Chain A
Amino acid sequence: MSDEAFIELDGVEKVFDVRKKTGFLKRERRQVRAVDSISFTVPRGEMVGYIGPNGAGKSTTIKMLTGILTPSGGRLRVAGIDPSRERTRLAHRIGVVFGQRTTLWWDLPLIDSYKLMHRMYRIPDARYRENLDRLVELLDLGALLDVPVRQLSLGQRMRGDIAAALLHDPEVLYLDEPTIGLDVISKSRVREFLRELNAERGTTVLLTTHDLQDIEQLCSRVMVIDHGRMMYDGPLAGLHEVGESERTLVVDLERELPPIEVPPARVVKVEGPRQWLAFPAAESAAVLVARVAAEYPLVDLSVREPDIETVIAKMYAEQAEQAEKAGSAGNAGKAIS
């Protein structure tokens, strides 16, 4: 197995049959392509962000990577292993953390769950103790080991779950929304830990998230998926180019007015006295605000940074535009289909 492709997907698809009730005893059968011909490779030791809106196919991909879902088509290898065929063998080499689910034993002290991991992954005693000590120190779990999991805060539980996923020294760690619902301090703590893990142990990390900041602070490479298709795969900088090319200034005026004119900003939406202005991300918002305030009866304002959904919407728009010009889909700028 070459290091160039620790995780390897080639035209992977997952199609679900969905039966919908269309009337009394009538069912309509419909196929949903949760993942539609996705290809990518992740070399050993890389930290990759895997992002997309709800229902984009992120979790389905992770489920296929761990082997609990079988792909409907295409080829998939993790560490040279076909996950759905050899799920149990692979399980010893991977770690999985879900932000919204827990592997920990709800009613029992945290340490009990770790003892279980010790047995489950058949970790040699010395290595178990060494890993546990290290993780307890790095994730600051010392005071929590004897606390029943149900009494932990979300941030504490998350750290506990991350430790549980790493006791057996997995070569790859899948994180599904690891910072969801966490406060700022807990988030930065988790991020810092992941950075260290990746730098010091060379653990390959695949991270799904809604939080662009996770990606900004952790990943040099990002993949964007939507409707089961890969929209973008490349460096974070490129995503910035596509996504943050425009910010939005929302202004509340004293009264309803025709779209205001403050180039280079352009009004994209008007709703009563509220107007939405899109302007290039590179432009200063302060200058724009000053001009609006000077020329129009301004009551209130806010500036919005583009979110993942906006980034993806823009990608779609660009892709469609390019397709129209070229007469064929795909190869639209940096976005691939």
Chain B
Amino acid sequence: MGSGRLYLAVAVGGFRRYATYRAATAAGVFTNTVFGVILVYTYLALWDEKPHLGGYDQAQAVTYVWLGQCLYATLAIQGGGAEKDLMERIRTGEIAVDLYRPADLQLWWLAGDVGRALFQMLGRGVIPFVFGAVFFPMALPTEITPWLAFLVTLLLATLVSFAIRYLAALSVFWLMDGMGVNQALMITGVFFSGMVLPLNAFPGAFGEIVRVLPWAAQLQMPADVLMGETDPWRAYAFQAAWAVVLLAAGRLVQSAATRRVVVQGG
């Protein structure tokens, strides 16, 4: 189909855009590796005091840390993916150019973000993960099935992650500026995705709540599927449900936004 080739081209463009910034990628790899090491020793200390916290043993906790570092940029957990560009284009009025195109705004930005995610996974995520696997004991599956299931959850996680950030970006049509939204995205993203601690480790009602929020689809689900802590089909269903709800909400907000659009800057 013709439009399939368009969005494929957009995704390839998204990939190549990020690929042009080699120094930024190298700096990112370095940062994620250093953070990984710091977090690993923090977690080891914690799991030493509280063995089997959140149902993980020490090797699983270590694996979780390196997965987090691998997916941090891939899923734009603290923001900084397509939504950053989109907010800027809405703020400056450049969005008018996008609206002239015979293309769907949401699919366009999703395609670009998927391309970006793929590059950041390969260019920025894999190295810290391999580093972790070489220097620390990790709980990785030896057969192929969990890895395949993991890839499916990653794809779904990418959709959920995009859907959250797309909604946030569209708010700029009303707010006129994305500074506050970006802050909120960063804090919620980092905390509710389980970058600080696995969501499994949170006790009581609070834990119950954070585990059903959409951010749980980002890091917790892929990690649990890879390490065999949850049924893959349950994870797919959870992620797909949030993806559908949030992407549909994005479409609704998008049509409201473009109808009331006061494209800024003449």
Partner-B contacts on A (CB < 8 A): 16, 54-55, 59, 63, 66, 68-70, 87-89, 91-92, 94, 96, 98, 100-103, 105, 107-108, 112, 115-116, 119-122, 148
| B112 smallest CB distance to A (angstroms) | 10
Contacts of B13 in A (CB 8 A): 105, 108, 112, 116
Contacts of B97 in A (CB 8 A): 96, 98, 101-103
CA of A100 to CA of B101, assembled, Å: 17
Contacts of B94 in A (CB 8 A): 101-102
User: Which size bracket describes the interface of B in this complex?
Assistant: 20 to 34
* Interfacial residues of chain B within 57-92, with CB under 8 A of chain A in the complex: none
B99 touches A (CB below 8 Å): yes
Q: Are B101 and A59 in contact (CB under 8 A)?
A: no
Contacts of B6 in A (CB 8 A): 116, 119-120, 122
B176 touches A (CB below 8 Å): no
Q: Are B261 and A116 in contact (CB under 8 A)?
A: no
**Digit string of B239-266 for contact with A (CB within 8 Å is 1, else 0)?**
0000000000000000000110111011
| A288 smallest CB distance to B (angstroms) | 39
CA of A105 to CA of B94, assembled, Å: 12
Name the residue among A16, A94, A119 with the largest chain B CB count within 10 angstroms: A119
Set B9, B100, B266: member contacting A119, Cβ < 8 A: B9
- Contact sample, A vs B, 23 pairs, CB 8 Å cutoff: A59-B266, A63-B96, A68-B96, A68-B100, A69-B261, A70-B259, A88-B102, A89-B102, A91-B100, A91-B102, A94-B100, A98-B96, A101-B93, A105-B17, A107-B17, A108-B16, A108-B17, A116-B6, A116-B13, A119-B6, A119-B9, A122-B2, A148-B20
**Digit string of B1-41 for contact with A (CB within 8 Å is 1, else 0)?**
01001101110010011001100000000000000000000
Number of A-B pairs, beta carbon distance below 8 Å: 67
Contacts of A55 in B (CB 8 A): 266
CA of A142 to CA of B150, assembled, Å: 46
Q: Are B102 and A116 in contact (CB under 8 A)?
A: no
Q: Are B262 and A16 in contact (CB under 8 A)?
A: yes
CA of A69 to CA of B263, assembled, Å: 9
Nearest residue (CB) in B for A168 is: B102
CA of A207 to CA of B261, assembled, Å: 23
Q: Are B20 and A120 in contact (CB under 8 A)?
A: no
Known: A68-B261, A115-B9. A120 touches B101 (CB 8 A): yes
Nearest residue (CB) in B for A59 is: B266
Instruction: Report whether over half of chain B's contact residues are helix, strand or loop; otherwise say mixed.
Output: helix
Known: A108-B20, A119-B5, A119-B6. A54 touches B266 (CB 8 A): yes
Q: Are A96 and B266 in contact (CB under 8 A)?
A: no
Nearest residue (CB) in A for B93 is: A101
B45 touches A (CB below 8 Å): no
Contacts of A112 in B (CB 8 A): 13, 16
| B266 smallest CB distance to A (angstroms) | 5
B103 touches A (CB below 8 Å): yes
Name the residue among B16, B100, B101 with the largest chain A CB count within 10 angstroms: B100
Nearest residue (CB) in A for B262 is: A16
CA of A189 to CA of B266, assembled, Å: 26
CA of A313 to CA of B97, assembled, Å: 32
Nearest residue (CB) in A for B103 is: A120
Set A59, A69, A120: member contacting B102, Cβ < 8 A: A120
Known: A68-B99, A101-B97, A120-B6. A63 touches B263 (CB 8 A): yes
CA of A121 to CA of B97, assembled, Å: 15
Q: Are B2 and A107 in contact (CB under 8 A)?
A: no
